[in-house]
Amino acid sequence: MATAVIDIGTNTLLLLIVDDAMRPLVDLCRFGRLGKGLDASGRLAAETIAASLEICREYRRAIDQVIDANGVARPIIIATQALREAGNAAEFVGPAEQILGAPIEVIAGEREAELAALAVVRTFPELADARYLVVDVGGGSTELITVDAGRAVSRVSVPIGAVRLTERHLRHDPPIAAEVAALTADIDRHLAPLALPRGVPVVGTAGTATTLAAVDLGLLRYDPAAVTGHRLTGAAVTGMSGRLLAATVAERKAMPGIAPERADVIAAGAAIFTQVLAHVAAPALITCDRGIRWGVAYEAMSTGRSPRAS
């Protein structure tokens, strides 16, 4: 029996369907930008609700094509920062649940962090005895999880993300020096009080990290296998972040490895990784395509949670 997971984020909606051997049958990413304008207004915009609901319809059709026997396919659906904080989240949640035929679980930041850690632990068995920091930079929040010998020993979620910080600070194209300084200061202000391990590798999940890997590799077509396990030095990430912040959105769109829909926010996301790596004196950034959607799938497989409703 296949397991279907939908991850509704601030920037993207992701659909993962895996078989019993955890082989991906479907792995889709669409940009609903549900959190557009949320940092300033506290509400979801009507146009992003409509766009994200259309993606839900696409995903419902994709699920029906894969899981087509004995009952109605029922995905496991989680939602993160945008729906945690939007005052009008119900305007999206109700229609989306009707379209998808399943409840949407709006998870807390610590739960998001746990799922990211689980995905990384299962993806990299070679790190079973190691101590490292998992960093999941999303559109609206960033999760940081310390893993020691395969066990998450601390986790925290902070309200900085690629979409949020772009809207808050980067108003010129390309950003001016004062905006970059304000962006950096905002990131550092959120990192300063955190008790994070120093001198350990950082494993980066989600779209910002995998985009940095894709750019470093010069990928013309995204390849999850190629970016998973790719290593970048702190200097490489810092240099790439500087180039992204100095480029216009149009110039970023032309760079191999950057999805056009991510070009306007990737510079802020890269800045978060730059400051995290510097803050913990990390020797390397290891990138991982398998994020919280995979954490949900691994958990579902281990607990027997059913993706179907009769």
Q: What's residue 265's pLDDT?
A: 96
Which domains does the chain possess?
3-107 (3.30.420.40), 109-292 (3.30.420.150)
Higher pLDDT, 158 or 304: 158
Using one digit for the tens of pLDDT, what is the confidence trace for 106-115?
999 889 989 9
Evaluate if residue 68 carries a pLDDT over 70.
no
Rg (CA), the chain: 18
Confidence class of residue 28 from pLDDT cuts 50, 70 and 90? very high
> For residue 134, what are its two tokens?
């998992």
Evaluate if residue 162 carries a pLDDT over 90.
yes
DSSP per-residue string spanning the chain: --EEEEEE-SS-EEEEEE-TT--EEEEEEE---TTTTHHHHSS--HHHHHHHHHHHHHHHHHHHHH--SSSEE--EEEE-HHHHH-TTTHHHHHHHHHHHTS-EEE--HHHHHHHHHHHHHHH-GGGTT-EEEEEEE-SS-EEEEEEETTEEEEEEEES--HHHHHHHH--SSSPPHHHHHHHHHHHHHHHTT----SSS-EEEEHHHHHHHHHHHHT-SS--HHHHTT-EE-HHHHHHHHHHHHHS-HHHHHTSTT--GGGTTTHHHHHHHHHHHHHHHT-S-EEEES--HHHHHHHHHHHHT--SEE-
The burial of 221, by beta-carbon neighbours within 10 Å (0-12 exposed, 13-18 middle, 19 or more buried), is given as: exposed
Confidence class of residue 19 from pLDDT cuts 50, 70 and 90? confident
Evaluate if residue 310 carries a pLDDT over 90.
no
What is the mean predicted confidence (pLDDT) over 152-176?
95
What is the mean predicted confidence (pLDDT) over 131-149?
95
What is the mean predicted confidence (pLDDT) over 74-100?
95
**Are 30 and 13 contacting, i.e. CB atoms less than 8 angstroms apart?**
yes
Confidence class of residue 2 from pLDDT cuts 50, 70 and 90? confident
What is the mean predicted confidence (pLDDT) over 34-63?
95
Question: What are the φ/ψ torsions at residue 152 (nearest 5 degrees)?
Answer: -75, 115
Confidence class of residue 70 from pLDDT cuts 50, 70 and 90? very low
Evaluate if residue 303 carries a pLDDT over 80.
no
What is the mean predicted confidence (pLDDT) over 25-38?
94
Evaluate if residue 305 carries a pLDDT over 70.
no
**Are 222 and 28 contacting, i.e. CB atoms less than 8 angstroms apart?**
no
Using one digit for the tens of pLDDT, what is the confidence trace for 242-284?
999 999 999 999 999 999 999 999 999 999 999 999 999 999 9
Q: What's residue 1's pLDDT?
A: 74
Q: What's residue 72's pLDDT?
A: 42
Q: What's residue 69's pLDDT?
A: 52
Residue with the two structure tokens 């010998």: 149
Q: Kindly report the average pLDDT of the chain as a whole number.
A: 93
Alpha-carbon gap, residue 165 to 198, rounded angstroms: 25
The side-by-side arrangement of strands in the sheet containing 24-30 is 24-30, 13-18, 3-8, 76-79, 104-106
What percentage of the chain exceeds 90 in pLDDT? 88
Q: What's residue 308's pLDDT?
A: 41
